[in-house]
Amino acid sequence: MLEFENANPNPKNVSKEMNKPPYLLGLLGFIPLVGFFVGIGLTLYGLIKYKDKKLIIIGVLCMVFTVFVYSFMYFGIEKSSKVRESWAELSQYQVNELVKDIEYFKLENGKYPDSLKQLQNGDTIVNIQDPIKGLNSSEKDIFIYENLGDKYSLYSVGLDGVAKTKDDIFPNVKNDSKVGWIKK
């Protein structure tokens, strides 16, 4: 017959270990978002079931950690200059591609489109959304386009989100090309 050396026949010690607060669940607090909900649960357990200050503190720290991580992600990463510069590079690429789409529209229809939305009426997928305007979501999020008859103006508002400033992003078009784009 097997005997356990550390077997405890006293049921009082077993119940004390069963009623020990789940401090180790606090480690889940290092998982953002999940940690917030774990923090709520641990705080409620600490207040209602265990009446334990340590558990309450661990729960609150889990929630604070999640708020800190998401705040850092928003302000430290999304609003950083490197990320904004990446959006500007993407906007530059898209405005260059849009010139090709506008010129193809003229080739097909004999005139430039009245608005960028006319480019989307065909079978092709044309991206007219300005990614920089998505950062400054206070206005419409398409590139600025104006049909001038046999010419057109097209640009992005740039990082400041204000049109007709020095940081506006224009297509890379050579002056000697036969493209109808003009800088206005």
pLDDT tens for 94-126 read 999 999 999 999 999 999 999 999 998 767 788
Domain ranges for the chain, please list them.
11-78, 81-155
pLDDT tens for 50-106 read 999 999 999 999 999 999 998 888 887 777 888 888 989 999 999 999 999 999 999
Q: What is the DSSP letter of 75?
A: I
Query: Helix, strand or coil for residue 142?
Result: strand
How many Cα neighbours within 13 Å face the side chain of 109?
15
Q: Is the pTM of this model over 0.85?
A: no
Banded pLDDT at 33 (limits 50, 70, 90):
confident
Q: 147 to each of 20, 110, 153, how far by Cα in Å? A: 73, 13, 7
Distance CA 145, CA 117 (A): 10
Residues linked to residue 144 through DSSP beta bridges, in sequence order: 155
